[in-house]
A and B are shown apart, each in its own frame.
Chain A
Amino acid sequence: MAEKQKLSRETMAFRVAKEFEDGMVVNLGIGIPTLCANYPSPDKEILYQTENGALNFGPNATPEEADLDLVNAGGQMVTPKPGMALFAHDESFAMIRGGHIDMCVLGVMQVSDKGDLANWLLPERGIGSIGGAMDLAVGAKKLIVVTEHTTKDGKPKIVRKCSYELTAQECVDMIVTDLAVIEVTDKGLVLKEVAPGWTAEEIQELTEPKLIVAPDLKEIELM
């Protein structure tokens, strides 16, 4: 049996990027989602959209390339790319709300078995920033969320009902964690893949709602 391991942030991003298909328009949230841009295979042409007003921008800028007037949604400086388009915020969210974004990847505080997402307000802080998360969660054709499977103190992040303030209801299609790949379906959460060395039972113990184990359950491919 393979040695039990948890996926690193980079490996989670690598797994998410396998979902990107040639020709897709993809919006990446802040944190692990941003890392996903490093991994799609080079034979796929992906157009990245950033809600602050660019489509088809290039990789992060080196210090020599830094330009204050070209940043992504996380405020990181990025590079121009042939075929890039620039636009204002109202146009950007017409793209997002209007269903023109094929896939969006966001971070998670809690996600429910119905696909409800909470990712903007930590109760102990009392105030948070919604940013563009609500619009993206509602508007993207497919929403993948990526997160560690549990909180730092071991509590499930995949829950029956979110106790945190919601970002949007019934919006998540797929959950990628450091332990598993789970699909949100009408019947409930379907466990599709597990991290090397982990069993479905072990994943269930760390997950609040009942998981449906896919008949073709397999290990997450790390290459």
Chain B
Amino acid sequence: MAINKVVDSFDEAVKDFFDGATVLLGGFGTPGGCPSYLMEALGRHGAKDLTIVCNNVGFGKELMQVVAMFTKAPDWWYDGGQLADNRQVKKAIAAFPVLASPLLVSPFEKQLRASEVEIDIVPQGTLAERIRAAKAGIGAFYCPVGPGTIVEKGKEIKVIDGRKHVLEYPIKADFGLIRAYKADRLGNLIYRGTSRTFNATMAGAAKVTIAEVDEVVELGDLDPESVVTPALYVDRVAVRPEAGRTEIIQKISKEEQLQK
């Protein structure tokens, strides 16, 4: 039987989520690169006590409008802040858990101040490498980032070549939600611009990797020289509705500019 990883809907893509799951969330805190439709489906699913692993926990719906640059925040944008708003998050493992400006207090920061959620703050590169280590089957690694800082607390320190390193372990997750540009039915993926970010790093790092794409193309349409994520790392592919596809987003953005 032909392999086909494409599922019919975002709800189907996340149907086996469970309370207490650990989930990798791709993206870098902006709408591009954010697996918004999958996260919105996770919001509808309602799984709670999640541990989310992400670079930025995010804004939540209200603050998204404040930070949107050039144009309004896209209607489809959905981030970890909204999952926090839904009270689905128990803990975050993140490099950017709160927003840069102390004046912008995200839903997650509010809950953190009220001791309703936990945070494990991780340097961004260490976060990426701990995720990669899970994908690559590495038991642990010594990392030069963190000695003499809050990051070294409770960790083994080893001097290698005269330099202090901390022992870092892989982050093992149940699900990975990622945003890619195009897929084929086997699950090969390409990305667009800087939206590759944590998405390509996370692909294949969790037990189940689910990709959200603009389009599923015929086998052979993705240039094998340019495939970024090979099919074996991907378990499910869901396709965005028209409003979330790059061509439409660009068109709307241009029209808004012309109106100004």
| Inter-chain contact A75/B123, CB cutoff 8 Å | no
CB < 8 Å neighbour of A68 from B30, B102, B196: B30
Which chain A residue lies CB-closest to B30? A75
Residue of chain A at shortest CB distance from B199: A88
Output the least CB separation between A26 and chain B (Å).
17
Q: Which residues of A contact B95 (CB under 8 A)?
A: 129-132
Evaluate contact between B195 and A69: CB separation under 8 angstroms: yes
Chain A hits for B228, CB < 8 A: 88
Q: Please tell me which one of the listed residues A86, A127, A169 contacts residue B196 in the complex, with CB atoms under 8 A apart.
A: A86
**Residues of B contacting A116 with CB < 8 Å?**
148
Known: A88-B201, A134-B151. A52 touches B98 (CB 8 A): no
Interface contact B148-A169, CB-CB below 8 Å: yes
B126 touches A86 (CB 8 A): no
Segment at the B interface, from A160-168, A173-181, A199-207, A212-220: A160-168
Asked whether A54 and B194 contact (CB < 8 A) given A66-B253, A92-B128, A138-B144, the answer is yes
Answer whether residue B167 sits at the interface, using C-beta atoms and an 8 A cutoff: no
Q: In this complex, what residue of B is CB-closest to A64?
A: B257
Instruction: From known contacts A69-B195, A127-B97, A130-B121, infer whether A168 and B128 are also in contact, taking CB-CB under 8 Å.
Output: no
Say if the beta carbon of B40 comes within 8 Å of chain A. no
Extra contacts besides A64-B254, A93-B125 (18): CB < 8 Å: A30-B100, A53-B194, A63-B257, A68-B30, A68-B31, A71-B28, A77-B70, A88-B128, A88-B197, A89-B124, A89-B125, A89-B128, A89-B198, A126-B113, A129-B95, A132-B125, A139-B125, A168-B145
Least distance between A47 CB and chain B CB atoms (Å): 16
Contact check, A53 vs B196: say whether CB atoms are below 8 A apart. Answer: yes
**20 contacting pairs across A/B (C-beta < 8 A):** A30-B100, A54-B193, A66-B257, A68-B32, A69-B193, A75-B69, A77-B69, A88-B200, A88-B201, A89-B55, A90-B128, A90-B129, A92-B128, A93-B124, A93-B125, A97-B129, A127-B98, A129-B96, A134-B125, A134-B149
Q: Which residues of B contact A (CB under 8 A)?
A: 28-33, 55, 67, 69-71, 74, 95-100, 102, 109, 112-113, 119, 121-126, 128-129, 131-132, 143-151, 181, 191-201, 228, 246, 249-250, 253-254, 257, 260
Chain B nearest CB, measured from A58 CB (Å): 12
Establish whether residues A71 and B194, one from each chain, have CB atoms under 8 Å apart when the complex forms: yes
Cβ-defined contact, A168 with B246, below 8 A: no
Nearest A residue to B164 by beta-carbon distance? Answer: A169
Does A83 interact with chain B (Cβ within 8 Å)? no
From A67, A125, A127, A169, contact of B147 by CB (8 A): A169
Q: How far is the CB of B132 from chain A (nearest CB, A)?
A: 4
The answer to whether B201 touches A52, judged by C-beta atoms less than 8 angstroms apart, is: no
- Which residue, A68, A90, A96, A131, has most C-beta atoms of chain B within 10 A? A68
Instruction: Give chain A interface residues in 75-123, CB to chain B under 8 Å.
Output: 75-77, 80, 86-90, 92-93, 96-97, 116, 121-122
- Determine if A67 and B250 form an interchain contact, defined as CB atoms under 8 angstroms apart: yes
A90 touches B197 (CB 8 A): no
* B193 in contact with A86 (CB, 8 Å): yes
A-side contacts of B55, CB under 8 Å: 89
- A51 adjacent to chain B (CB < 8 Å): yes
Residue from the list A50, A52, A90, A139 in contact with B145, Cβ < 8 A: A139
Chain A neighbourhood of B200, CB < 8 A: 88-89
Any chain B CB within 8 A of the CB of A10? no
B197, A168: Cβ atoms closer than 8 Å: no
- Tell me if B148 and A69 are in contact (CB < 8 A): no
What residue in chain A is nearest B74 (Cβ atoms)? A68
Instruction: Indicate if A135 sits at the interface (CB-CB under 8 A).
Output: yes
**Once bound together, how far apart are the Cα atoms of A87 and B196, in whole Å?**
7
Cβ of A17 within 8 Å of any chain B Cβ, yes or no, is: no
B146 to chain A, nearest CB (A): 6
Give Cα A132 to B198, complex, Å: 13
Assembled-state Cα–Cα distance A134/B131 (Å): 18
Minimum Cβ distance to chain B for residue A163 (Å): 14
